Structure 1
Amino acid sequence: MKILRGIEMAVIGYARVSTEEQNLDLQIDALKAAGCDRIFEDHGISAIVKKRSGFERAMKALKNGDTFVIWKLDRAFRSLHHALDMLEMFELRQIAFRSLTNQIDTTTPEGKFMYHIRFAFAELERNLISERTRAGMMAAKKRGKHVGRPYALSIEQIAAIRKKLCSDPKMTVRAVSEEMGVCMHTLYRALRRTG
């Protein structure tokens, strides 16, 4: 807790990891060392998710004049646009912002400038990765490789299903799908895929 002009100002921290396997300890230790009075967490939640309960609680806890601290920019913000919107809101409410690993402190002009520059580069990097991933998937498709989840039914299973449907006129697609443990849509897609 810092005191400015006789008023207590809180230092609020926020930590997030994307998967259940990841650990928050590194971020929490850094936030505690930075003097955070309270730390809010989101565990196993992607940054692109709009509703993050820990992030929302941190935003509600912030009062005018407080400081919001994160370990790294991508832990809190979904995109450059989101980050800039939040910075504007922080400025309006006179909330200081610090990103520890990015060494950004918006109480200084240099810190504000670095905030904009670093986030622009972070978004560029995400877009380039996404573009390379799409290009790789297109190249794999052109080579005839299946892209995405594995098929629910193998070629052999589909052949057995066709044989069963053709040999027994009373056999329905519903009955076969229940027997195979797949939904009817999956079965129809598999039959269409194999001609």
Structure 2
Amino acid sequence: MTRYGYIRTSTKEQNADLQRIALVGARVTDIFIDEGVSGTLASRPDWDVLMRVLKEGDEVYVWKFDRIGRNTMNVLEAVKAITGKGATFHSLTERIDTSGPMGEAMLTIMAAFAQLERDTIAERTRAGLEAAKAKGKVGGRPSVVDAKKLTTIRSLVASGDHSRADIARMVGISPATLYRVIQTL
């Protein structure tokens, strides 16, 4: 029996120390780390290696179960892959242990609530954006082309005396921005 740990961060900038400390405290013998890898990806380099070396009687520990997947289906499929090899899954934060039927049931319930939380946040974000749009607020980066620049661009393009590159330089915008503006004229 081997105790394996699995760490995943979504970006390279995220710090995995908290996960590592928790796994070392759980006395794992080998830790697999995927840094800068989305939890939605079915294939993750170190996760794939872990799945290849995993055998019956082994244990897989994670700091939180969302480290093995970003939604209910991802988490449940990952746990199924672990238990399908005769190994057990342990989530330290949620205190989930699939060595018994209660642990598996709790995992399913916890994963469902985590998915509900993510979906609720996404729904609130969409509602907030729609409310702002209804009030006339537009999200995103402010345009570099104000009304004055737009008038200048229109007259320079209409004159036909200047190249697109010259117009962009004269107005103080990139040629790519100029071409986008011209398409809307």
TM over 0.5, yes or no?
A: yes
Q: TM-score range by the shorter chain?
A: 0.7 to 0.9
Distance 1:149 1:57, change over 3 A: farther
Work out which of the residue numbers 24, 27, 41 in structure 1 matches 2:19: 27
Cα distance, 1:160 vs structure 2: 3.1
Work out the number of aligned pairs and report it: 182
State the match for 2:10 in structure 1: 18
State the match for 1:81 in structure 2: 73
**1:58 partner letter:** L
Cα deviation digits, residues 47-78 of structure 1 (max 9, x gap): 23444323223223322331111100111112
The TM-score, its normalising length taken from structure 1, stands at 0.81
1:181 corresponds to 2:181: no
2: distance between equivalents of 1:139 and 1:16?
35
Q: Percent identity?
A: 39
- Give the SS at the match of 1:68: strand
CA RMSD of aligned residues (A): 2.4
Distance 1:178 1:14, change over 3 A: farther
Distance 1:150 1:43, change over 3 A: farther
Contact 2:58 2:86 in 1 (8 A): yes
Work out which of the residue numbers 154, 159, 163 in structure 1 matches 2:145: 154
Gaps of 5+ in 2: none
- Give the SS at the match of 2:70: coil
Contact 2:165 2:175 in 1 (8 A): no
Cα deviation digits, residues 128-179 of structure 1 (max 9, x gap): 000111111111111111223443x331443332232123x14344654587
Gaps of 5+ in 1: 1-8
2: distance between equivalents of 1:64 and 1:55?
17
1:190 corresponds to 2:168: no
Distance 1:133 1:104, change over 3 A: same
- Give the SS at the match of 1:89: helix
- Give the SS at the match of 1:127: helix
1: distance between equivalents of 2:99 and 2:162?
73
**1:71 partner letter:** W
2: distance between equivalents of 1:158 and 1:59?
58
**1:103 partner letter:** R
State the match for 2:112 in structure 1: 120
Distance 1:57 1:157, change over 3 A: farther
Contact 2:90 2:96 in 1 (8 A): yes
State the match for 2:162 in structure 1: 171
2: distance between equivalents of 1:150 and 1:45?
31
Contact 1:13 1:58 in 2 (8 A): no
Cα deviation digits, residues 102-138 of structure 1 (max 9, x gap): 1000002211111000000000000000011111111
The TM-score, its normalising length taken from structure 2, stands at 0.84
Work out which of the residue numbers 123, 129, 143 in structure 2 matches 1:131: 123
Cα deviation digits, residues 3-40 of structure 1 (max 9, x gap): xxxxxx22111112223332111100111111211111
